[in-house]
Structure 1
Amino acid sequence: MASSAQPGTGPSGEFRFPGNRLGLPEEGPGSVAGWGRRLAALVLDWVIAGLIASAVTGKPIWAGGNDFGTAQLVTFFAMTAILAGLAGGTIGHRLLGLRVLSLRPGANSQYAAQVGLLGGVIRAVLLCLVLPAVVYDRDRRGLHDRAANTIVVRR
């Protein structure tokens, strides 16, 4: 008897691994990214934003202060929104072998590779609020990913 369950689910459709409900592989390219790489990419992007803010404000990155913190947050937001939305991932994502996919069906693949600027802005706003990023589902999609209809996968 044939099962009507989605790929990656057991006979009764239960959860087996992150991404199985979305038709993503369990391991390798296209599988849902792990927390370690995602956190490392986030920290790397935050440091890069700090270096850019340091150059703009003329203050060293370790100086801190309200104006520097604001400049760093605005830089991080812009970097994340533009790069994730239009390039499929931030600098940290690229360096750590990750990419951001839209879950809307694409023409040549299961999911479209480009999130779009609006999706990037939605992700970035919620990511900057922090809380949506730490509230996630069993597919490792934070509220920022769910709102933008995206997922972070391995390259």
Structure 2
Amino acid sequence: MADRLVTGDTAPAFTLKDPTGQDISLSPGNGRHTIVYFYPAASTPGCTKQACDFRDNLASLQSAGYDVVGISPDPVAKLAKFAEKESLSFPLLSDEDHAVAEAYGAWGEKKNYGKTYEGLIRSTVVVDPDGKVSLAQYNVRATGHVAKLRRDLKLDA
């Protein structure tokens, strides 16, 4: 498991497929911040709630200079169904081998109902326009996360 990222780290570059099969890359230097959020599985209750929360806040985040990208280990076809069903208008990216999640420290040991296993850790990393981490949050809650993120980014004045 990779170390977790902290403020000031260089965000690992990546290129992953979106639901249409197009390659999407993290591209520092575009003048915008990117909210990269990792979620365990499309169409599950918590992940749906979190994705819809980002969807519902997308316009205000974008007007504040933030783009949103969701990453999960789901295959592209599952992401396409999820995006269509929930009317998600931001990129969802497939990280089936979880290499990007590992590079971001979002893959590791989890415990659930007394069992320990390896899996995706619900996490959010905000990357500044220069490709540096400006905020890294791990083990976030699906419910209320976007509101907390907005407060942490000082977007709610």
TM-score grouping bracket, smaller chain normalisation:
under 0.3
Higher relative contact order (CA 8 A, sep 6+): 2
| Bigger proportion of residues as helix | 1
- Larger Rg computed on CA atoms: 1
| Bigger proportion of residues as strand | 2
The TM-score, its normalising length taken from structure 2, stands at 0.24
